Structure formats: C-alpha cells, structure tokens
Amino acid sequence: MGDIQAVLRELRRGVAEIIDEERVETLIKNYYEKGENFYIKIGMDPTAADLHLGHTVTLQKMAFLQRHGAIIQFLIGDFTAQIGDPSGKSETRKKLDKETVLKNAKTYEEQVFKVLDPTKTIIMFNSKWANELRASDMIELASTYSVARMLERDDFTKRFRSETPISISEFLYPLMQGYDSVAMKCDIEMGGTDQKFNLLMGRHLQRVYNVGKEQAVIMMPLLVGLDGTNKMSKSLGNYIGVTEAPNDMFAKTLSISDELMWEWYRLLSTKTLEEIDELKSGVESGRLHPKAVKEALAMEIVAKFHNEESAIKARDEFNKVHSQNQLPSDIAEFSVQGPVWVVKALLECKLASSSSEARRHISANAVSIDQNKITDEQLQLEKGEYILQIGKKKFAKVKVV
C-alpha cells in the first residue's frame, strides 16, 4: 500500500490514546520505505485463557497493523503465575503449574489466530528471561520507581485510601511487566485504557535500562458489554466469548441496544468508517431498519469467529425462533410415562426447576403446548408427542408413553 496517510488514518480509528504517535508513524513509514518490520507487544494473563469480544478490539487493531509491517509479540505472562505466596494470604491468585500454563497458552493460540495472522505472530513466555533474574536484579529494578508514584495507580490509590492491604509484591508485578518490554525490545505495546499505568512502565524501563528505544503505546477503549453500561467482562456475564456457538453469538449481538451497536461497529467491524456512516444515515433517514443493520453486524461477528455459512444459519435460526415464532430445529427430546400432569412434564423436560416455578409460568400465561397457550394447571397429558414451550426461547419435545 502506497498511501501511508490512509493507513495512519485507519490506524487512529477507534483508538483511545496513542503515546508517541510520531514514532508509530515512523515505524510504518520505515516498513514501506525500507521494508523493516516492527514489534508490538501484547501481554496476556495465563490464568484464564478465554477471550471475549472485548479482547478482540485490541487484537483487531493488531491484525490491521500486521498488514502494515507489525510482528506481534504475544506474551504469555507465565512467570508470575508460577510464584507462590508464603504468607498464604492471597486467595485470589492460585499458583499454576507449567502444564496448565502451556495448555492455556495453546487455547490462547487457537483463539487469537481467529484474528491475528499466525505467520506474523510470535508467542513468547516471560519465564524465559524472568526465571534468569536474581533477587539482586529485582532490587535493581525496584530502585527505578518510587513508592509514591506506584501508589498513583488508580487501584492502588483506592485501596491505600480505604486501608485495604496492598502486598509489597503487588508493587513488583508492574515492574516485572515493564521489564518484559526491556527483554522483548518491543517498539509498541498495546492494551486497554485500563492498562495505561503498566504500559507506560514498559516505556519508563526501556529508557532506564538503555534499550535504545522507548516503546510507543496504543490504547484501545474498553468495549461496553451486552448490558450497555459496563465494560465487557467474564465476571459480569455481559460478554460474548470468541468460542461461543454461532447461534449464541448471533442472538447476543441482536440483544444489544441500537446505540451500543454503533460503538460495536466502530470497534469490532472491518467496515470502513465511511461505510459505517452510510449505514447510520440509512437508519436515520428511515431507509434502513436498525434490526437489519444489527443483523449484518451479528453476521460479521459470527463469520469472523466461525464462518460465513454458520453466520447464515445462525441468522435463519434466530429469525425462525424469534421473528416468525417457528420452532427451532434442535429441540431436546424427553420421554415420560403417561398420563402425566403438565407440571410434572415441565419438570421432567427441565423447563422448570420446581413445581411452583412451573405453576407460576402457567398462571403467567407463558406456557404453550404445540404452540397453544394453556391456562389449566391441572392438565393431564395422554400418550402422544407434544412440544412444550415456556416463553419465546425455552422448548422441549416430550413423548408420553
């Protein structure tokens, strides 16, 4: 690509903040003018190898940069995961064995290569250099940063003020993380805006240790999750995992608000900003229905993590169930002894977890048999096959024998 300005424009898309943008531009120019590659570090916690769409915001920007000279240094932070806690106080951090770390790393690979180009990605483990460091090196490293500045990190500030104990080792982790940048000699480090402190630490330490360069930093905004308010996260449950089934991915995407949809387009779609603006004005003028636009986004997401065919199937399935009130194609089947009381049948088919719940559904007019609402709690089902349904999404086929 000859038009570097266009690359730089697209680079800035959706980015929250770039530190030392000039250097990023120089790196890209050098690639086009001299064929020199540059290195981008991204760090990953090896304790939970499960990516969601929030992670892919950064990965996608990296995939874009891979097309313009970047080699991704994908760093698995296995070193700290191997460290114990003699005080036995930390319940949050469990020591991982080498095997688990390697297994998680493998899972990461499978997931990130749905987005990243594997031929331009290097998987690295920081235990390689960190295990070589001695206590004296750790002390030298710690001498480069002051207690007061460390306490400026948001979470530390809060905990210190609220007198929630901070272990001194927690001050060493950001330093180790920054030291990774020294060992990796990366040109850029990327991460979410919540990582700013740690990302700048790498830049600081590259300077202190005379690496001969100071990493630029590209920060991506945090993707808002399904609930439309909070950062997408595993613990809040408002996420879409990159390994989720096509139908779930599609349905979850369709559930987001029209407003959030545009933010997702900007951060997750590969459509150009112009194309997105086009869609937006289409919706605003009434030419396009927002649901159609959301469907297109959902299909793009499913196609990215699965394939086109799955995307089409997921859309058809979704519409079959939700829009046309048709039955889904994969309904669980159960067999019960008849005649059977309808409440018991709902229990046996796992559509309700207690008789009182089943009865509540019936009195709330939420239960259908063969797509006909029922109101009689005492109903008995004779021999035959029936489709039981609660609300719009829960189905079961019951064979009364």
Give 154 or 277: the residue with its C-beta nearer to a second copy.
154
Q: Residue 115 pairs with which residues in a beta bridge?
A: none
- By the 8 A CB rule, do 238 and 232 touch? yes
> Which of the stretches 5-13, 143-151, 183-191, 253-261 binds a second copy when contact is defined by CB under 8 A?
143-151
Quick check: 208 binds a second copy (CB under 8 A)?
Answer: yes
**Long-range own/partner contacts, residues 90-98 (CB < 8 A, 24 or more apart):** 90/167, 93/47, 94/47, 96/46, 96/47
46: cis peptide before it, omega within 30°? no
Quick check: 1 binds a second copy (CB under 8 A)?
Answer: no
Q: Supply the minimum distance, in Å, between the C-beta of residue 77 and a second copy.
A: 13
Per CB under 8 A, the list member of 18, 57, 141, 222 interacting with a second copy is 141
> Which of the stretches 65-73, 79-87, 304-312, 370-378 binds a second copy when contact is defined by CB under 8 A?
79-87
Per CB under 8 A, the list member of 2, 35, 86, 212 interacting with a second copy is 86
Q: What are phi and psi of 297, to 5 degrees?
A: -65, -45
Of the CA atoms within 13 Å of residue 191, those in its CB half-sphere come to 23
Binding mask 158-177 for a second copy (x = CB under 8 A): --x--x-xxxxxxxxx-xx-
Q: Supply the minimum distance, in Å, between the C-beta of residue 211 and a second copy.
A: 11
Structure tokens at 38: 């540059």
Q: Binding to a second copy (CB under 8 A): which residues in 89-128?
A: 89-90
Give 149 or 289: the residue with its C-beta nearer to a second copy.
149
Q: Which amino acid is at 241?
A: G
Give 1 or 148: the residue with its C-beta nearer to a second copy.
148
Count residues near a second copy (CB under 8 A): 46
Quote the CA–CA distance of 240 and 90 in Å, as a whole number. Answer: 29
Question: What is the helix (H) or strand (E) element at residue 297, kind and residue range?
Answer: helix 290-305
| 33-to-29, 128, 198 alpha-carbon distances in Å | 6, 34, 32
Quick check: 200 binds a second copy (CB under 8 A)?
Answer: no
Alpha carbon 350 to its chain's center: 30
Per CB under 8 A, the list member of 10, 20, 25, 85 interacting with a second copy is 85
Q: Residue 39 pairs with which residues in a beta bridge?
A: 71
Is 234 flagged in the annotation as binding? Answer: yes
Give 90 or 270: the residue with its C-beta nearer to a second copy.
90
Residues forming the site for a second copy (CB under 8 A)? 79-80, 82-87, 89-90, 130-131, 133-151, 160, 163, 165-173, 175-176, 208-209
Summarize the annotated binding site for ATP as residue ranges. Answer: 234
